[in-house]
Amino acid sequence: MVVLLLVTTIHFFCQTVLPFFTPIPSFNDQFQEHRLQFVQNIHLGEIVSIDVGETSHELLSVDVSNNLGDGGLVNSSVFSEKVMPKIVKLGVDKSGVGLGGRVLPINEKYVLFVSDDRKKMRCLMPPKSVMYKEQMDRLLVRNRRSSRAMRPRWSSVRDQDILASKVRITSSPSRMVDQELYASVFRNVSMFKRSYELMERTLKVYVYKDGEKPIFHQPILKGLYASEGWFMKLMEGNKQFVVKDPRKAHLFYMPFSARMLEHTLYVRNSHNRTNLRQYLKNYAEKIASKYPFWNRTGGADHFLVACHDWAPYETRHHMEHCIKALCNADVTTGFKIGRDVSLPECYVRSARNPLRDLGGKPASERHILAFYAGNMHGYLRKILLEYWNDKDADMKISGPMPPGVASKMNYIEHMKSSKYCICPKGYEVNSPRVVESIFYECVPVIISDNFVPPFFEVLDWEAFSVIVAEKDIPDLKKILAAITDEKYRELQNGVKKVQRHFLWHVKPQKYDLFHMILHSIWYNRVFQIKPR
C-alpha cells in the first residue's frame, strides 16, 4: 500500500508539477533541452526503505543518465556548494497535509526524492556547511588561547592545581626523546607526556552516586556503544583517580549511559525524544540543588561520556557547559573543539576479552588496496557504492555481507588483508570502522565531513590515516594510488604505534583507551579553565 501510494505520488509529481520548475541549479544547461524527455521517460529505480531509528523513509532513486542525453550530466562534483535542491509538493497525506519533498542531485546517474522533514532527514542529507581538518586545527589553537568557559563564582584550591599544571605543560621542552611513546603520532609528544604525568599525580574525580539503574551505573560492555560502558565500569571501579569527598575533586563525572537512556525511555516510532532530554535535565537540576559544585562553574568542571548518536541532542542546553566526550563528534551539531572530546566508537565483540582477534597481516601481505562492506546508512555510503561497487578489482567495496559467523570472520579477514580500510560516515559523522581499522592494523580512510577524529587535541591523524573529503569520492582510487609504498609503510607503522591508545583492557594499562579518554578530558579542562 505504501509503495503504491508512493508511486502514485511520484507519477502525479512528474506529470503536473515537475514541468513547471526551472532546472535544478546543479544540472547543466542541457537539462532544459531534455527536461520533457526526462519527464516522459523517467525510470523508477529501486525503492530503498531506510530505518533511521526514529522513522522509516522511502528514497526513490531515478536513473537520469539515458534521459539527459550523452552530454547531460549532473554537476560532476558530488556535493557542489551550488547545489540547491528544489522543494516541491508531492501530494497530501492521510490528514490532508501537503507532503514536502526535494530533488537532490547525487551524481551523473542518480537523483534522490526525499521528504522535506528536515529534523528527521538531516542524517540523509549532505551537510549545509563543511569544516575541513585545517580549519579544525586553527579553531583548536584559537579556542586554547581564548576559553569560553564560565569564570568560577568562587575560588577553589583545586583550580590552583590545574592552573599550575597548565604552566608546567606549556613550558614543556619542544623536543623530547621518549622510549614509551611514538612521537610521530602526536601533535606535541612532550606536552602530552608532561600532561599525562601531571594527570597521574594530580587529578582527582568525584563520581556522582545519584541516578537509578539501568540508565545510571549500568555499563554496556559489548556492541556498538561499548565505549561509554567500558569507561563507566573502569572509572567507577578506579582507586587512583576517584575520591569519595567531592571537595577534593578537580572533575565531576555523571555516569549515565546514553544507550540505556534510549533503550529505557524512548517510545519506539514516536519520533519524539523530548522525554529523554527532560530526564537528563531533571538529573542536572537535581545535582545542582543537592551539591554546590555544579553551580560554582555552571557545570564546566563536570563531564559525561556518551556514544549514542542522540547524546548531543539529549545533553543540549542543560549540560551545555560540561565537557562532553561524544562519539558523535560533529562540529555542526554543537561539538566544541578544544572543550569536548571525540570519543572513539568501538565495536567490542567480547566483554571477557575485548582484545580478541587483535592485529593483522604485515604490509607486504596486504594485497587488497581498499576495502569496505556495510549497511547503507545515510546518504554517503550509497554514493560510495555507486562509484566503486564492482567497478575496480582493487577496490573491494560492497554493501553488507551476509549474516552469520563465517561472514563476520570474512569481514575481519578482509580488514586484516587490506592496505586501506574505508570508513565512511553512516547516519552520523562517526563510524566504528575507524577504531576497527586501527585494531586490525589497516590504514583508516576517513570520509566524513565535519567529523572531529578521536583525541583530536593530542593526536596527529595525518601520521596514521588518510582523510578524504566527501566531494572527492569519485577520485578515491586516484588518491590512494598516489600514495607511495614508502608513505604507506609509514602510515601503517603509525597505525601499529597508535594502536595501544585505542585498546580496552579488563585492568587498565598506561596510555590505553581508558587513560586516553580521561587524559583528553583533563587536558581540555586544563586549557579551558579560568581563574577567579
CB 497 within 8 A of CB 464: yes
C-alpha cell at 207: 563520581
DSSP state of 475: G
The least confident of 91-95, 216-220, 300-304 is 91-95
Q: Which residues contact 189 (CB under 8 A, 6 or more apart)?
A: 176, 178, 181, 183
DSSP state of 74: B
Q: What is the signed CA dihedral for 223, 461, 502, 203, rounded to 10 degrees?
A: -120
- Bigger pLDDT: 27 vs 213: 213
> Phi first, then psi: what are they for 107, rounded to 5°?
-155, -165
pLDDT of residue 83: 36
Q: Taking residues 470-490, report their average pLDDT.
A: 97
**In terms of Cα–Cα distance, which of 345, 354, 348 is closest to 305?**
345
What is the overall mean pLDDT for the chain? 82
> Phi first, then psi: what are they for 359, rounded to 5°?
105, 175
Question: Which amino acid, one-letter code, is at 311?
Answer: A
CB 331 within 8 A of CB 358: no
**Per-residue pLDDT for 124 more than 50?**
yes
Asked if omega into 214 is within 30° of 0 (cis), the reply is: yes
**Per-residue pLDDT for 29 more than 70?**
no
**Per-residue pLDDT for 66 more than 50?**
no
Tell me the C-alpha distance between 126 and 183, whole Å: 36
pLDDT of residue 99: 42
Strand partners, 60: 47, 113
- Which pLDDT band holds residue 121 (cuts at 50, 70, 90)? low
- Which pLDDT band holds residue 128 (cuts at 50, 70, 90)? confident
**Per-residue pLDDT for 24 more than 90?**
no
Q: Output the CA–CA distances (angstroms, integers) from residue 104 to 114, 178, 188, 428, in the order listed.
A: 8, 52, 43, 19
- Which pLDDT band holds residue 479 (cuts at 50, 70, 90)? very high
Question: Which amino acid, one-letter code, is at 315?
Answer: T
The least confident of 32-36, 129-133, 171-175, 469-473 is 32-36
Q: Which residues contact 263 (CB under 8 A, 6 or more apart)?
A: 214
Residue with cell 599525562: 196
- Which pLDDT band holds residue 23 (cuts at 50, 70, 90)? very low
- The secondary structure element, H or E, covering residue 325 is strand 323-326
Tell me the C-alpha distance between 43 and 386, whole Å: 17
Q: Taking residues 312-331, report their average pLDDT.
A: 96
C-alpha cell at 139: 579553531
CB 437 within 8 A of CB 423: yes
Long-range Cβ pairs for the range 219-223 (8 Å, 24+): 219/257, 220/257, 220/259, 220/260, 221/348, 221/351, 221/354, 222/348, 222/349, 222/350, 222/351, 223/347, 223/348
3-state secondary structure of 443: strand
Q: Taking residues 302-314, report their average pLDDT.
A: 97
- Bigger pLDDT: 129 vs 13: 129
Tell me the C-alpha distance between 148 and 245, whole Å: 28
3-state secondary structure of 461: helix
**Per-residue pLDDT for 44 more than 60?**
no
**Per-residue pLDDT for 77 more than 60?**
no
C-alpha cell at 485: 609504498
Cβ neighbours of 218 (radius 10 Å) = 17
**In terms of Cα–Cα distance, which of 157, 185, 189, 158 is closest to 175?**
189
The 10s digit of each residue's pLDDT in 396-452 is 999 998 888 788 889 999 999 999 999 999 999 999 999 999 999 999 999 999 999
Q: Which residues contact 249 (CB under 8 A, 6 or more apart)?
A: 158, 204, 205, 206, 243, 293
In this prediction the pTM is: 0.80
Q: Output the CA–CA distances (angstroms, integers) from residue 360 to 131, 356, 442, in the order listed.
A: 33, 12, 8
Q: In what order do the strands lie in the sheet with 110-115?
A: 43-51, 56-63, 110-115, 98-105, 86-92
The 10s digit of each residue's pLDDT in 360-401 is 999 999 999 999 999 999 999 999 999 999 999 999 999 998
- Cβ burial of 51 (10 Å; 0-12, 13-18, 19+) is exposed
